[in-house]
């Protein structure tokens, strides 16, 4: 009986030690992880994008910055604030680099809300919603 008790104590302590051990990060110290521990430089996503209405002009974004529709910025649900993202219009191949400074979009099936200037540089605003590919570049 003592042997079983000692064995259980050793297993318990070993389990505790294993659970408290550290694991080497999968990213280098100069890069920050993004959603699902994907390297920032390798993050690619495709989907639909729209642009902010002008009623948001001069209002505070989720990052604390003031929204300016003339700047190349965007809202994404999970990418870190300050991320530089290349947004490519799948239909015409035009692209623009934007900074993530807000959260959203909060409309089903959309992955990005662009500032009006960023949207205009890759599509006509009358299209409203476009198919895009995003790549985190920084």
pLDDT at position 41, please?
52
Handedness of CA 80, 85, 88, 89 (dihedral sign): positive
pLDDT averaged over consecutive 10-residue blocks of the chain (138 residues)? Answer: 68 61 43 46 89 85 93 96 97 97 93 95 94 95
pLDDT at position 12, please?
62
Residue 84 β-bridge partners:
99
Residue 27 contacts residue 33 (beta carbons within 8 Å): yes
Domains and CATH numbers, the chain: 41-136 (2.40.40.10)
Q: Which helix (H) or strand (E) holds 111?
A: strand 110-114
């Amino acid at each position: 009986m003592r042997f079983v008790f000692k064995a259980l104590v050793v297993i318990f302590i070993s389990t505790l030690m294993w659970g408290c051990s550290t694991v080497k990060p999968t990213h280098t110290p100069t890069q920050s992880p993004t959603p699902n521990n994907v390297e920032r430089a390798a993050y690619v996503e495709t989907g639909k994008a729209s642009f902010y209405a002008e009623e948001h002009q001069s209002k505070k974004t989720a990052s604390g910055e003031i929204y300016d529709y003339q700047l190349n910025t965007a809202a994404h649900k999970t990418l870190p604030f300050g991320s530089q993202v290349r947004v490519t219009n799948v239909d015409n191949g035009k692209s623009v680099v934007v900074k993530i400074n807000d959260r959203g979009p909060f409309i089903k099936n959309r992955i990005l809300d662009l500032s009006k200037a960023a949207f205009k540089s890759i599509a006509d605003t009358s299209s409203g919603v476009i198919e895009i590919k995003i790549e985190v570049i920084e």
